[in-house]
Structure 1
Amino acid sequence: MSLCSCRNFPTPFLWFPLLLVLLTNASADGVKQKNFYIVFLGDLAGSRDIALDTHLNILSTVKGSILEAKESMVYSYTKSFNAFAAKLSKDEAKNLSAMDEVVSVIPNQYRKLHTTRSWDFIGLPLTAKRKLKSESDIIVALLDTGVTPQLQSFKDDGFGPPPAKWKGTCDKYANFSGCNNKLIGARYFKIGGRPDPSDILSPIDVVGHGTHTASTAAGTVVPDASLFGIAKGTARGAVPSARLAVYKVCWASDDCADMDILAAFEAAIHDGVDVISISIGGGNPNYVQDSIGIGSFHAMRKGIVTVASAGNDGPFMATVTNTAPWIVTVAASAIDRDFRSTIQLGNGKNFSGGGLTTFNPKQKQYPLVNGTDAARNSGSKENARFCYEDSLDPTKVKGKLVYCSLSGWGSESVVKGIGGIGTIMESDQAFEIAQIFMAPATIVNSSIGQIIINYTHSTRSPSAVIHKTHEVKIPAPFTASFSSRGPNPASKHILKPDVTAPGLNILASYTPMRSITGEKGDTQFSEFTLMSGTSMACPHVSGVAAYVKSFHPNWSPAAIRSAIITTAKPMSQRINKEAEFAYGGGQVNPTRAVNPGLVYEMDDFAYVQFLCHEGYNGSTLSVLVGSPVNCTSLLPGLGHDALNYPSMQLSVENNSGTTVGVFRRRVTNVGPAPTIFNATIKSPKGVEITVKPASLIFSHTLQKKSFKVVVKAKSMASMKIVSGSLIWRSTRYIVRSPIVIYSP
């Protein structure tokens, strides 16, 4: 088993248009000063370059020159509106406001900061309705790399003693300060796995992964959290008042042994937790041979919801992991925030680059050299172009920025190691993850790269500066390219992943025992950092499951999963071409999940019946239920027909004529009664979908009603995916079930 997150792994995606933001000598700290103003002009006219020139010309009228205007201006807004931000005196602001071209001039203000964005983005603000007493009785378990107990995210100010149901323990270990009324349990499990010199046999987190996921799921509220001022906001989990129990099963070597995982599941079930969050994957697709599948089945039988990450092997198809139907499987998506760094050349031109640099420049400009021009006399210019180890002449690099072609991470550490300042890296492979650099660095495409190379050869003293990274707004959500896709390799009848949640560039707590890049020589340590992966998406949904359970303590894991899937926000197949195989039911919607209207219930017998129909041998099922199962005595029918799953999936063989799928389902009314739900069907081209009956009439709460969905699909090309849906509507509720038809 391995961790399902990799904070800084490269992964291809579609480049967003580069945002040309002017950020000159003003640092992120400098922008806090009160003498910054935003100057609004009229409607946008002409190109963005023309608008930028207009901004500089207007600003130069009060600054005296274009050069001084460039030094004063920090932003040029040319996309949606026509404005710029600049450092001004009161008199300069007054003079600008008197100009005919200027609509208004307002002082820069600092409003109340909200989270690292992910919780607000998916609709769970701090002001969301809560049942605090019930929430404080919820225990969220994390099976991960441990935890850092002394951090602010795990403080217990205002917390009472642990719930009476808690049976767990927390002993003191090496480098581990112990638990409190927030972090009520911490244990470690290490029998398997490779040794690593940085490992400590205690629940302490030396990797940072577990600390990050735990704080995302249920961390307390921490104002003014950031990564050196980047992504600043209020860090928190979905359920800040809930308790945390941490079970360390993964180690610095990235090993997460099955036997350790099962031991942790067993302990968590015994200890009385309500939700298990496990951002680990790579197991056996056979449900009865997978430690997570087995452990989570036993948890389900005790009323515990297990939420797991889908894996980071996208965008390749059929790579999704943790596919057992009793698990909530989570894909990763983006929020509406990205990170860019502005490069300013000595000739005044500015460009936007990717990646994340936390460093404020100490000079206005640094000498700039192309890697090929800094090659060792006896070395290969081709190796120097990529800034490989031992390819550059230290005397030609010292004190300079170096332009390198990108073949992998680490060129900034090579340059820094021989006295350079940092690197500008060229790559036409796009990176949606904000790669954190250990020295000033950024990534540009080859078009911008050629301009920079031409500039270095056009002057005797080329120079440049890379400014500290800033945030930009982007369209979202979309599924991260690294997020593993369906179809489900373990069962062609069950749609996986179930839902998607924020997992790209998520800010949360981190360990002080490891630098933020983990690279040798990195001197950056922070209480918070950005990480990406389905590992980061998983605790978002774990937190939502805990949030739902705080309102409905007696709901089963199936009911909670159903509420999360059927209330998810649909996403665009135009943006995510793998459709539901990328995002499942859609983006998780916490406040709607609390009040779903209808739920698809299941007990453990339904899962066993499903497994029998899927071809599992009755004797092998004893690993789940404790004794052999007589599958021949179970009702006949298709496996997917036996399982009351909220989503429906039909596999259509190529050149097979018409395929017919029959899905029998039963819903429970969890809203007020009497009420009527009417069916709305969305059928893709070439597919006929019918539902009988078309209306469900409920006379009382918790009443159950059955219906049948028939899907008729014509033969389609291999690996084609088409999407439909069944929506049950009442005057108060919309209950949506995705219907996926595909050809393997």
Structure 2
Amino acid sequence: MNTLKKLLLVTVLNLNLHVITSASNDNERKPYIVYMGEVREDIISLTNVHNNLLSEAIGDETLARTSKLHSYGRSINGFAARLLPRESKTIIAYKKGVISVFPNKVQRLLTTRSWDFLGFPEKVKRNNQIESNIIVALLDTGVWVESPSFNDDGFGPPPSKWKGKCATDGNFSACNNKVIGAQYFNLDSIEVPNENTPPVVDVDGHGTHTASTAAGISVKGASLYGIAEGTARGGVPSARIASYKVCWNVGCQDMDTLAGFDAAIADGVDIISVSLGGQPRSFFEDPIAIGSFHALKKGILTVCAAGNDGPYLGTVSNVAPWIFTVAASTTDRKFETDVKLGNGEKISGAAINTFTLKKEMYPLTNGEQAQNFSGDSYGNISACDYGTLSKNKVKGKIVYCLGKGGDSTINELGGAGTIMSMEYFEDVAFPTLTPGTYISVQDGLKIDNYINSTKSAQAVIYKSRTVNNINAPSVASFSSRGPQQLSPHILKPDITAPGANILAAYTKYSTLTGDVGDKRVVNYNVESGTSMACPHVSGAAAYVKSFHPNWSPAAIKSALMTTSNSMKIKAVGAELASGSGEINPIKALHPGLVYDITNDNYISLLCKQGYNITDFIRLIGSKKKNCSDFPLARGADGLNYPSIHMHLKDQESDISAAFYRTLTNVGIGKSVYKARVKTPKGLSITVVPNILRFDKPYQKKSFKVILKGKFVREKSWYLSGSFVWGDSKHIVKTPVLVYRPSI
């Protein structure tokens, strides 16, 4: 089943949890992760260090040996083990050399036309030789290497820097010269893979979809049963792919995710793409924040999905400042699936319906009329819950269901089709198991009234059609919004990319919907979510890196943010929904100026935020000893970030803050940039100085941004402005957002 659809169905049941946890039991051993910082060259065997620490904590060497699940040690120092809560809290957490101990949790999984829509055509200028040495790593559900999107014709051997491996099983290999690495991590053996399917293979489809979006080759004529036909391709078709399977049917366990980071960093990848996440946690208790920081130290940019809990505020995931956090937007293509009633009325819905019904009209009924009176079910009849309907009253008919899960029930009972009503996201089309469509609740009432007005109600559902979306680009309704609380003055998400109705490669080991009753196996599938937006930015970042291989992760991130296209935000959240705007990969090649950030800058920010990181500073390999040895993090946010965000406290209305920034000239020769400011009513933005003169490449110039003002309307909760630095060739855009909690 489509990943976003799964999440939406969970939401309906009021089980929309960010993470999955088990009931607490102080006498039950459960997996914990012990994080100890950087791999140290002066230690001969980290495994022995981990074993000794664990033995001391548990007090029984034999039990300690069986309790340990995994030693990280290629890029990240730490281990995973089954512990009692008291052992983790009172013993290990206070041992010298330990930064944090936290329980293992399970995170959740969070194209053709999309690249063209971004103004990034197939024949764009490329640096093919360097691009073929770029390695994009994906921490996901694995990959199906036999997809046409991963054909390796014309590819030479893997780059010499590659140190990874490929899981094999007899004559089977999960790799070729396009997908050069495939590993899997199932440290707690929570799921036994199908004995007929190599465990490294993608049996979900999510990982194959994201990998092909980031770096799949061009495949002409790709479609889903003729829907969304076009050329499927990734952002960097010549780049290599390394797959790290860390997600299984149960979700993505922290310890597996951290193992994926540990391996990918050591293997020599260039970009890490992570389309999974959960509720934000302390940076030292979040495997994605930990792994991405260690990746940063090796010059690797980590790109992450922002989450699918929109349009609600404060739902954004993956908020560490060194992560590139991606929101989802629409493209100019959407899918409509129409219903025609027997009275001639047409109703338009949103769905991926691959079926063509043979008759002009079919009998139409609803849950109440098809009720199974002899059953012993406590489900919702109107919603067509399992067991509530009579097979004799459903067979051969189209059934209207008040809810979003009726198609599996109607399919099992032999119905001709399903019409489902919901407070649906009109910018997302879900695949249906039967001939079906999703309509609004208001249109559902029309159908109910029609059914009750006649003894011979009829309807037909048409195959989905592609229509032009005149409102694109807009932030997808499901895309998670800021603000975030861990670094309140850092605007998250950072940027937006296409994530609604994206066609990309799929696996033969799953069906179109993932439902057990579905028999359709497809090479390409349509999916939606910030999971789909994330690899667009991963591909764009890899594209920029292929022209600027020596740029830091922060410089690449800045280039994409400051050259992004501004969006008209009609949805909830303004820049809290879109970040800097929608990516423009071509413009990002020549940004003119970038906001660069060093590792020390990030540590200085952590110090300013009050993290007790004396051990952390030492254990990540820094020569400095404590926070006082780092440069003072000046300004409201304390970081040289490509956006400016001021987060007021409750009931606060006066605005007064200073933000300090430094720009690096990545253009050629001398240049003069002048600042232009755009301000909303109630906010003053002053840039000092407002002219920057650069005499040579990589010269740095600093400036200050002063915010003054007041919320003039009692119920207003944000003020949105911006400033740009411009010369004769470049525009360097920086959004400014002031937010206050709703009163």
Q: TM-score, normalised by structure 2?
A: 0.81
Of 688, 698, 704, 1:702 maps to 698
Report the Cα distance in structure 1 between the residues aligned to 2:379 and 2:298, rounded to whole angstroms: 61
- Retained in 1: the 8 A contact 2:167–2:173? no
* Superposition pairs of residues 33-44 of structure 1, within 5 angstroms: none
Deviation at 1:446, TM superposition (A): 4.5
* Superposition pairs of residues 445-524 of structure 1, within 5 angstroms: 445-457=440-452, 459-474=454-469, 475-524=471-520
Identity of aligned residues (%): 51
Whether 1:734 and 2:718 are equivalent positions in the alignment is: no
Q: Which amino acid letter does the alignment assign opposite residue 471 of structure 1?
A: T
Report the Cα distance in structure 1 between the residues aligned to 2:740 and 2:443, rounded to whole angstroms: 42
Report the Cα distance in structure 1 between the residues aligned to 2:444 and 2:604, rounded to whole angstroms: 60
Closer, same or farther: CA 167–135 of 1 in aligned 2, 3 Å: same
Of 407, 413, 437, 1:412 maps to 407
Report the Cα distance in structure 1 between the residues aligned to 2:334 and 2:398, rounded to whole angstroms: 24
- Retained in 2: the 8 A contact 1:7–1:533? no
Per the alignment, in what secondary structure is the counterpart of residue 385 of structure 1? coil
Closer, same or farther: CA 352–563 of 1 in aligned 2, 3 Å: same
Deviation at 1:397, TM superposition (A): 1.8
> How big is each residue's C-alpha offset from its partner over 1:560-604, in whole Å with a ceiling of 9 and x where there is no partner?
00001101111123x133111101001111111111010111211
Report the Cα distance in structure 1 between the residues aligned to 2:365 and 2:279, rounded to whole angstroms: 47
Deviation at 1:184, TM superposition (A): 0.6
- Retained in 1: the 8 A contact 2:594–2:665? yes
Q: Which amino acid letter does the alignment assign opposite residue 304 of structure 1?
A: I
* Superposition pairs of residues 361-372 of structure 1, within 5 angstroms: 361-372=357-368
Whether 1:204 and 2:201 are equivalent positions in the alignment is: yes
* Superposition pairs of residues 511-660 of structure 1, within 5 angstroms: 511-573=507-569, 575-622=570-617, 625-626=620-621, 629-638=625-634, 640=636, 642-653=638-649, 656=652, 658-660=654-656
Closer, same or farther: CA 119–193 of 1 in aligned 2, 3 Å: farther
Q: Which amino acid letter does the alignment assign opposite residue 248 of structure 2?
A: W
* Superposition pairs of residues 274-289 of structure 1, within 5 angstroms: 274-282=270-278, 284-289=280-285
Whether 1:178 and 2:194 are equivalent positions in the alignment is: no
Per the alignment, in what secondary structure is the counterpart of residue 296 of structure 1? helix
Who is 1:681 aligned against?
677
Q: Which amino acid letter does the alignment assign opposite residue 416 of structure 1?
A: N
Per the alignment, in what secondary structure is the counterpart of residue 373 of structure 1? coil
Who is 2:316 aligned against?
320
Deviation at 1:636, TM superposition (A): 3.8
Q: Which amino acid letter does the alignment assign opposite residue 586 of structure 2?
A: T
Closer, same or farther: CA 365–718 of 1 in aligned 2, 3 Å: closer
Report the Cα distance in structure 2 between the residues aligned to 1:148 and 1:321, rounded to whole angstroms: 27
Whether 1:396 and 2:393 are equivalent positions in the alignment is: yes
Whether 1:305 and 2:301 are equivalent positions in the alignment is: yes
Who is 1:743 aligned against?
740
* Superposition pairs of residues 205-354 of structure 1, within 5 angstroms: 205-254=202-251, 256-282=252-278, 284-354=280-350
Deviation at 1:456, TM superposition (A): 3.6
> How big is each residue's C-alpha offset from its partner over 1:490-518, in whole Å with a ceiling of 9 and x where there is no partner?
11121111001111111111111111111
Closer, same or farther: CA 152–651 of 1 in aligned 2, 3 Å: same
Q: Which amino acid letter does the alignment assign opposite residue 735 of structure 2?
A: P
Deviation at 1:719, TM superposition (A): 7.4
Report the Cα distance in structure 1 between the residues aligned to 2:613 and 2:115, rounded to whole angstroms: 43
Report the Cα distance in structure 1 between the residues aligned to 2:678 and 2:2, rounded to whole angstroms: 34
Report the Cα distance in structure 2 between the residues aligned to 1:5 and 1:556, rounded to whole angstroms: 33
Who is 1:60 aligned against?
none
Closer, same or farther: CA 257–192 of 1 in aligned 2, 3 Å: farther
Per the alignment, in what secondary structure is the counterpart of residue 267 of structure 1? helix
Report the Cα distance in structure 2 between the residues aligned to 1:525 and 1:623, rounded to whole angstroms: 52
Who is 1:128 aligned against?
124
> How big is each residue's C-alpha offset from its partner over 1:392-440, in whole Å with a ceiling of 9 and x where there is no partner?
222222211122222x41x122122122111122335444321211101
Who is 2:85 aligned against?
none
Per the alignment, in what secondary structure is the counterpart of residue 187 of structure 1? strand
- Retained in 1: the 8 A contact 2:477–2:571? no
Of 178, 187, 212, 1:191 maps to 187
Who is 2:97 aligned against?
none
Deviation at 1:702, TM superposition (A): 1.4
Deviation at 1:453, TM superposition (A): 3.8
Deviation at 1:371, TM superposition (A): 2.8
> How big is each residue's C-alpha offset from its partner over 1:255-287, in whole Å with a ceiling of 9 and x where there is no partner?
x22222222112111111110001111154311
Who is 2:39 aligned against?
none
Per the alignment, in what secondary structure is the counterpart of residue 307 of structure 1? strand
Closer, same or farther: CA 182–629 of 1 in aligned 2, 3 Å: same
Report the Cα distance in structure 2 between the residues aligned to 1:623 and 1:582, rounded to whole angstroms: 37
Per the alignment, in what secondary structure is the counterpart of residue 288 of structure 1? helix
Report the Cα distance in structure 2 between the residues aligned to 1:359 and 1:459, rounded to whole angstroms: 27
Whether 1:724 and 2:717 are equivalent positions in the alignment is: no
Whether 1:6 and 2:7 are equivalent positions in the alignment is: no
- Retained in 1: the 8 A contact 2:671–2:693? yes
Closer, same or farther: CA 320–343 of 1 in aligned 2, 3 Å: same
Who is 1:422 aligned against?
417
- Retained in 1: the 8 A contact 2:502–2:527? yes
Name the Cα RMSD after superposition: 2.5
Closer, same or farther: CA 242–397 of 1 in aligned 2, 3 Å: same
- Retained in 2: the 8 A contact 1:170–1:184? yes
Deviation at 1:543, TM superposition (A): 0.3
Deviation at 1:12, TM superposition (A): 13
Closer, same or farther: CA 461–324 of 1 in aligned 2, 3 Å: same
- Retained in 1: the 8 A contact 2:635–2:657? no
Deviation at 1:607, TM superposition (A): 0.8
- Retained in 2: the 8 A contact 1:176–1:204? no
Deviation at 1:657, TM superposition (A): 6.3
Report the Cα distance in structure 1 between the residues aligned to 2:171 and 2:568, rounded to whole angstroms: 47
Q: TM-score, normalised by structure 1?
A: 0.81
Of 543-552 and 261-270, the range deviating more from structure 2:
261-270
Deviation at 1:146, TM superposition (A): 0.3
Deviation at 1:444, TM superposition (A): 2.7
- Retained in 2: the 8 A contact 1:678–1:729? yes
Deviation at 1:471, TM superposition (A): 1.1
Aligned residues: 637
Who is 2:75 aligned against?
none
Report the Cα distance in structure 2 between the residues aligned to 1:687 and 1:513, rounded to whole angstroms: 55
Deviation at 1:452, TM superposition (A): 3.3
Q: Which structure's CA Rg is the greater one? A: 1
Of 484-493 and 207-216, the range deviating more from structure 2:
484-493
> How big is each residue's C-alpha offset from its partner over 1:446-472, in whole Å with a ceiling of 9 and x where there is no partner?
444344344445555432211111111
Q: Which amino acid letter does the alignment assign opposite residue 6 of structure 1?
A: L
Per the alignment, in what secondary structure is the counterpart of residue 284 of structure 2? coil
Q: Which amino acid letter does the alignment assign opposite residue 652 of structure 1?
A: L
Of 490-499 and 411-420, the range deviating more from structure 2:
411-420
